[in-house]
Amino acid sequence: NAAAAGAIGVIVSNNVDGALSGVTLVNPGVVPVGGVSKADGTALAGLAGQAVTLDLRFHFETRTARNVIAQTKTGRKDNVVMAGAHLDSVETGPGINDNGSGSAGLLETALQLGSKPKVNNAVRFAWWGAEELGLIGSTEYVRALTFEQQLDIALYLNFDMIGSPNAGYFVYDGDNSDNVGAGPGPFGSAQIEKAFVDYFTATGQPTEGTDFSGRSDYGEFIAQGIPAGGLFTGAEGIKTDAQAAKWGGTAGVAYDKCYHSKCDNLGNLDRVALGKNGDALAFVTATYAISTEDINGVPPR
Ligand code: PHE
Ligand code: ZN
Ligand code: ZN
Ligand code: ZN
């Protein structure tokens, strides 16, 4: 609530009420006047002034997180093709599909490209830190760029979960044709979606559009008007009968039943899906490294 917002205090554990977990109190141990609110914002009535039990095992700490950024020495530096994947995982699991899969796919593409590739446009790889804490690494990175530096980025490609064990073949819906996002992305995002879809279509792999509203590291790029796109094989969502018919796997089961949990280990990968998405990642990145003409042709941002 307002009294608790911004206060530096102690976090109440669920000793009082499960709904209190994560609430910060102004006066440690005493619920502030006016009471406290639950995580969903609704008031928890009748607790103002009451003493609560504190569990100090659950606490804030300050940590340093880093992004790892690497760029080819060759290619135009004012028309950079950027591709990224978050390197961190949640504390509750090892994070192999989320997001060892995207990180590994990106690393393999960088290795295959080599240090001095024959490209027209520079390729900048980003392994983001602190995505799971609120897209922090990528957001800080984009905001720290000057406007000129932002304009030097032709596009951004994102890879967060590309080997889900009950995989869907999702492409970020940059043109909002599937009406699953918050509206079309910046000019050029539609072309990026098409580049991925065209690649998959050529290989006989059907795809679907998926949410492009900012639930991963591309969020701050599109917020600043930089065209973006990417791939996703699904998290907690449930595979439909129609999807199982065209993609295989199991209908009525989550795309990744180990999403954010302990079992997101090396067994939690569909290696065929990882291979196909890794190939698409490499192909589209290389295509834009050669030319961004399809994006340049659309109205300027
Ligand atoms: N960003 C989410 C995570 O890391 C995964 C996700 C990606 C969900 C894209 C939806 C769309 O947990
Ligand atoms: Zn995650
Ligand atoms: Zn993720
Ligand atoms: Zn679309």
Catalytic positions are 131
Is residue 196 within 8 Å of residue 157, measured between CB atoms?
no
Give 99's DSSP letter. I
Residue nearest to atom 8 of ligand 1 (CA): 215
Mean pLDDT value across the chain: 86
Q: Which residues surround ligand 4, an ion (CB under 5 A)?
A: 173, 175, 177-178, 209
Question: Which alpha helices (DSSP H) does the chain contain, by range?
Answer: 101-113, 136-144, 147-151, 189-202, 219-223, 241-247, 271-290, 293-296
Instruction: Compute the average pLDDT of residues 52-65.
Output: 69
| Res 296: pLDDT | 78
Give 96's DSSP letter. I
Quote the radius of gyration of the chain (alpha carbons, Å): 22
Task: Quickly state the pLDDT bin for 41 (edges 50, 70, 90).
Answer: low
**% pLDDT > 90, the chain:** 72
pLDDT in tens, 248-288: 999 999 999 999 999 999 999 999 999 999 999 999 999 99
Tell me, using a 6 A CB cutoff, whether residue 214 lines ligand 1: no
Q: Which amino acid is at 52?
A: V
% helix / strand / coil in the chain, to the nearest 5?
30, 15, 55
Q: Which amino acid is at 31?
A: V
**Alpha-carbon span 250 to 256, nearest angstrom:** 11
| Res 28: pLDDT | 44
What domains can be seen in the chain, in order of their start residue? 1-61 (no CATH), 68-296 (3.40.630.10)
Res 8 pLDDT > 50: no
Task: Quickly state the pLDDT bin for 225 (edges 50, 70, 90).
Answer: very high
Whether residue 99 has a cis bond before it, omega within 30° of 0: yes
Ligand 1 centroid to residue 216 C-alpha, Å? 5
Q: Which residues surround ligand 2, an ion (CB under 5 A)?
A: 98
Res 33 pLDDT > 60: no
Is residue 145 within 8 Å of residue 137, measured between CB atoms?
no
pLDDT in tens, 130-143: 999 999 999 999 99
pTM to 2 decimals? Answer: 0.82
